[in-house]
Structure 1
Amino acid sequence: MKLLTIIEKIKRFSNQDLALYLLIISSFLPFYLFLTLFVLYIILLAFTGKLKQVFKDLTQHPFLLAFIGFSFIVSMVAGNYIGAVISVGFVMYAIFFKYYQRRLTPDFFHIVLQTVLLLSIFAAGFAFLEHYEIVHKFNYTFLSPKMQVWHQNRAEVTFFNPNYYGIICCFCIMIGFYLLSITKSWFWKFIGAVAIGINLFGLSFTQNRTAFPAIICGAIIYLFTTIRSSKAFWLSIAAFGIGLMFLFSSDIGVRMGSFGSSMDERVSIWNAGMVLFKQNPWFGEGPLTYL
């Protein structure tokens, strides 16, 4: 019944809100499809005249516009055309979030969060199938030969990289905590708890070493700042214990055991970044210089 209520609310969305809602949930599609829809959405907003007020709002953020302009100019001067495209992407994201703020209502916000949690459960299921090689990973080599699969046993779902999917899991876990703390519906409390647990499994399938310490700290801070009672203490202890269990489980533990050798790879990346920084320490060469 609760799901039917959401569907009824979605049916009552205006065309603008429905388009915005569909774009947000399309972020669970393969990333190239989402980016295509995102660009088309911004173009549609421009052609329908919906961006006039958004541009006025953006002029109230001169430092943001100056940073984006600086990023674009430096990238072009350095011949870093990928960086220039990324800078244009900054503008598009700024436009999107300003427009999103103008359309946002409490009801719309909660429906988006509830839908994202439900989709994250299906994503974690796909991560399980990926990790145990029951299904093949998405192949992006048709976009570029460099975009081959590098992480055979690490789940990435539709987000191209295990670390990116790990970030999505972290977001969904915190959304689950938020839903648990604000909703009075036992149905959505249950969904929130299930989503937290399942996204912890999804996170473990990414074998992301740094995500678990981050989500442990984030959960503890969130619980203490929102619940403010002895319940927060015990929930924090539970979050800490569950996080440690996943951190040193068989899957994660293998990568934790190779942490030292992996650090050598990280240090080489940092050294390469420092070399690039020394080449132009004052202005840089724009986003994604290392590519």
Structure 2
Amino acid sequence: MFIIFGIDYLKEHFNHHQRYIVVAILSLFLPFYMCGAVLIFLTLRLLWKGEIQEAYRQIPKSRYIIYFCGLSLIVSLLYQNFYGAACSIGILAILSFLLYYRIHITSELFEFIVDCIIVLSAFAAFYGLIEYIGILNKVNIDQLEIVIFNKPQDRINSVFFNANYYAMMIEFFVCLAFYKILKLPSIRKNFKKFLYYVCIIAINLFMLLLTACRTAWPAIAGGILIMLIIDKRYRTCACIFACMMLVCIYFIFNPSKFPRVDNIVAYFMTRQNIWEVAIANIKTHPLFGEGPMTYIHIYPLYHGHPTEHAHSIYLDPVLCFGVVGLLTIAPFIAENIKRLYRLWKKNIDKSLVALMVAFTIMIFIHGMLDYTIFFVQTGFLYLLVASSFDIYKESLDA
């Protein structure tokens, strides 16, 4: 009997290298500390077998990963930022595993991975719904009703540590399901599959509502629109954009219906305080930063708001790694952008290009007010998709 996660199916369709990758993907739906432990264990095992070293030899500019993580580790230890030192090692493990992923990824494996993630997103939603019912019972609500809570402890997170991380994962789940819809040769002939993906999207959007994360909605909107534009579905893009504008107009005339509207001012004041602290420390350490997780290391010095990071993708990397640190990894990033551009230019798989660009657009939209991409599950899933151009490495290297 066919079982999508069955051992026999994996042995029949994928080699042992690819099965390592599948195990890593499944670990995304474990609690973050277990996911991190699995990824580090797999990387160490592959290092012991010489597979990681081979990946570094094959992938252009990959040595800059070692330079970047080594510099980050040294800077973290210099400032006694031990959280940052641990993160530096974790970043090295994840990026090294992604190099291994790049030399073994195939189109069949990638589609299988996407299918696995889509299925497991429904299980994560089911777990989140159970969590939500428990929250309702805690506040003495005995029946199932939609209540948007403000307190972090009353917002669902499923298996993703907090509500904002789960919200970013939902952004990715929705885009992956939408990608599968774009890959359907005909909706009419594949209506059951189309309906399945629509249901997955609907379930995840409902769970996003329960996370009470506001920033994720414009991120998803931006991601979906860019996917349609790159895939040249202009008519569908115009229709969805019109619907989004109607929703915006509705909230303009009914501001009380906007999620967590009562704490928007306090929310932005808190963010402003965090950003001021981050900018102040960037001015004193502009070249090398103080290593990952710098904000949690330095906020008491500035009497800042206590939190883990600077809540901005535009500030936190500079705060943590400095200008020199970011320039150290820049050649590797530039090489990846070149390969993505080559994939788009050759018009090999426009749906995959659309997915990769959409993921990036979403993290930069969401990253205006948060830094949820700097986390084991969100970061690994993004980098996994963003590295998938090597499905077509033979065509790219030709």
CA contact (8 A) 2:40 2:90 kept: no
Deviation at 1:281, TM superposition (A): 2.7
Query: How far, CA to CA, are the matches of 2:98 and 2:254 in structure 1?
Result: 38
Deviation at 1:250, TM superposition (A): 11
Aligned to 1:87: 88
CA contact (8 A) 1:74 1:284 kept: yes
CA contact (8 A) 2:157 2:163 kept: yes
Query: How far, CA to CA, are the matches of 1:252 and 1:169 in structure 2?
Result: 22
1:54 maps to a residue whose letter is A
Deviation at 1:256, TM superposition (A): 2.9
CA contact (8 A) 1:76 1:84 kept: yes
- For normalisation by structure 1, the TM-score amounts to 0.83
Deviation at 1:86, TM superposition (A): 1.2
1:104-115 to structure 2, matched below 5 A, reads 104-115=105-116
Q: Of 218, 221, 225, which residue of structure 1 is paired with 2:226?
A: 221
Deviation at 1:177, TM superposition (A): 1.0
Residues 99, 240 of structure 1: alpha-carbon distance in 2 compared, 3 angstrom cutoff: farther
Deviation at 1:57, TM superposition (A): 3.3
Residues 65, 43 of structure 1: alpha-carbon distance in 2 compared, 3 angstrom cutoff: closer
Deviation at 1:93, TM superposition (A): 1.5
1:87 maps to a residue whose letter is S
1:1-291 to structure 2, matched below 5 A, reads 4=3, 9-12=9-12, 13-57=14-58, 60-133=61-134, 151-184=152-185, 185-238=190-243, 253-291=258-296
Query: How far, CA to CA, are the matches of 1:120 and 1:251 in structure 2?
Result: 31
Q: 1:107-148, CA deviations, whole angstroms, 9 ceiling, x for partnerless residues?
A: 1100110110111112112222222326999xxxxxxxxxxx
Of 70-79 and 184-193, more deviation after overlay is shown by: 184-193
Deviation at 1:203, TM superposition (A): 1.2
CA contact (8 A) 1:207 1:252 kept: no
Residues 93, 5 of structure 1: alpha-carbon distance in 2 compared, 3 angstrom cutoff: closer
Instruction: Give the number of aligned pairs.
Output: 278
Query: How far, CA to CA, are the matches of 1:286 and 1:57 in structure 2?
Result: 28
Of 78-87 and 276-285, more deviation after overlay is shown by: 276-285
What is the aligned-residue identity percentage? 28
2:115 maps to a residue whose letter is Q
Give SS of 2:289's match. coil
* Structure 2: tracts of 5 or more residues without a match: 139-150, 297-398
CA contact (8 A) 2:85 2:291 kept: yes
Residues 243, 109 of structure 1: alpha-carbon distance in 2 compared, 3 angstrom cutoff: farther
Query: How far, CA to CA, are the matches of 1:11 and 1:43 in structure 2?
Result: 23
CA contact (8 A) 1:170 1:215 kept: yes
CA contact (8 A) 1:223 1:236 kept: no
Query: How far, CA to CA, are the matches of 2:196 and 2:98 in structure 1?
Result: 27
Deviation at 1:247, TM superposition (A): 11
* Structure 1: tracts of 5 or more residues without a match: 138-149
Query: How far, CA to CA, are the matches of 2:11 and 2:25 in structure 1?
Result: 16
Residues 6, 248 of structure 1: alpha-carbon distance in 2 compared, 3 angstrom cutoff: farther
Of 199-208 and 48-57, more deviation after overlay is shown by: 48-57
Give SS of 2:286's match. coil
Deviation at 1:167, TM superposition (A): 0.6
CA contact (8 A) 1:156 1:162 kept: yes
Of 107-116 and 201-210, more deviation after overlay is shown by: 201-210
CA contact (8 A) 2:228 2:234 kept: no
